[in-house]
Each structure stands twice: as C-alpha cells, then as structure tokens.
Amino acid sequence: MVIPTERLDFPALAAGDGPVVVCWHGFPDHPLSFAPLAERLVAAGHRVIAPFLRGHHPTTFDQLPFADGLTLAADAAAVNAALSPDPLDVIGHDIGAGIAGRLAAIWPERVRRVITMSVPPPAALRTIFDDPAQQQRFFYLWMFQVPRVAESLLNDTLLTYLWRTWSPGLEVPAYVRNAYADPALRSNSLKLYRANFDRTLHDPALAPLAEVSERPAPIPMLVLAGADDGCITPDSYADAATGLAPGSRVDIVPGAGHFLQLDRPDEVAALALDWLR
C-alpha cells in the first residue's frame, strides 16, 4: 500500500484488519522484518502497517534532503494523521525506536500506546557515549562519517558482520541483502548517520521542536531490549527510567539479540499484545 501524506507518499507493507499498529524499521533492515510479529498481531485482531523509512524505497530514494531524527518523527506523525483521526499504536525498532520516542514526545496526541525495541528512549541516550565499550560497538557510526571509506565498506560483508554480531546466530535475510545491494539505499542509510553530526542535514523548519523531542514523552512506553544484543547491551538501559514517563516499563527479553522481533517473535508478541491491551 501507499500512504499519501502532506509530507510524502510512504510505501508500506500492510496486513490484517482491526485497530492499527504502525511499525517503523531501522538499520540495516526492512519492514519485512516485522512479519513474524505482524503475523501474531494480526491473529490477535490488529491491522499492522509497516512503512519504509523516507529514502528507503525506490520510489522515495530522491526524497531525503534532510535525514535528522526530527524529520523522521515528523514523517511518522504525518503517517498517523493520514491513517486515522484517532491516536494509533506505534512500534519502533532501532532507528524506528527513536522515531517512536520522538513522535510520542512531540505529538503525544497522535499515539495511543508506544513500544520501542533495541534502543533506549531518546531522553536516556545522553550518556550512552560515555562508555568506551559502547563506543567500540558503535564503530560503524564513526566509520560512516568518512566520505568514500563508508561508501566502499557498507557492503554485504559488513551487513553479515553486523547482523551476526548484533543477533548472534541470526543471518541477514535475503530481502535485506537485496535492498542494500542498491547504492541509492546505502547512500541514504549513510545520510541518517551523518545527520547525527552534520547540521546541514537537519530540516531548519523543524529545529524549534528539538527542545521537546529529547525530553521524556508524556505517555508511558514499553521499552524492549534483547539480553544478547551485541549492538546496545542490556546495561545501557539501567537509567532508561530517567527518560520515561511514569507507568513505563523496560523488559529485557531472554535469548534475544538486537533483532528481537525475529529472534523471539512469540515472546515479543506476547509482551506487545499485553501492552497494547
């Protein structure tokens, strides 16, 4: 399906009928990684819609002039508004977790229940770079800042390493390999990471929202992390409560890595359905 919004027409995967759950993916990933979770949510009576991030589908490759977190959060708000006049449930994984957290912080009227996976809430990320071991795990983030080096090293070998390291025992799905074979997608993925430091990739029209976006969202959130995550380890969530509203919860999923919706879909679906109820 395609979701027309005032900002962009967003290609999305969709299944089921019932209350809508919007799922936002991360890097290096694809909306199809939500399929096992979506199957279980659909069986429980939900409609699951998983949009492609701006710039991550062939029809939007040329629509990423800005790549900052506020741009992606504004996209999510526009998608929710286009899908329903009522607040919608939102699940975000990896980069999608930041999208969901900032959406809830800036536009809480657009969301009903929020679940984030594999990244602490934005308001609790201020100290994550204080840990040298975490800086080492984030080697790719620093490497992506180097022109030409990043473009040459963001390849199938790196994808394999990241997936196997982040979710031990998990192989890169063919749909991810096929998607990242396109140089345009790789270039746009790098843009998202370069926007962490390059202010020219920030939309100046959204700049006033930055003051709100990194504060705790005013609504409770369920934060899920994999016990075996090799990208952001469980100890990184020790202070997550400081970035969450009262009533929020942080659950560490045993036996799950970074891609916990693929590693442990039954457990993640059970936690998600309980929270959405």
- The CATH fold assigned to 2-276 is Rossmann fold (3.40.50)
What per-residue confidence (pLDDT) applies to 263?
Answer: 98
What per-residue confidence (pLDDT) applies to 129?
Answer: 86
What per-residue confidence (pLDDT) applies to 126?
Answer: 80
Domain ranges of the chain: 2-276
Whether this model's pTM surpasses 0.85: yes
What per-residue confidence (pLDDT) applies to 128?
Answer: 87
Mean pLDDT by 10-residue block, N- to C-terminus, for the chain (277 residues)? 98 98 98 98 98 98 98 98 98 98 98 98 86 95 96 97 97 98 98 97 97 95 98 94 94 98 98 97
- Mind listing the pLDDT tens digit for each residue in 234-264? 999 998 988 999 999 999 999 999 999 999 9
Contact predicate 53/68, CB 8 Å: no
Tokens, residue 1: 């399906």
- Mind listing the pLDDT tens digit for each residue in 164-182? 999 999 999 999 999 999 9
Contact predicate 23/38, CB 8 Å: yes
What per-residue confidence (pLDDT) applies to 127?
Answer: 82
CA distances from 109 to 27, 113, 159, 214 (A): 27, 11, 37, 17
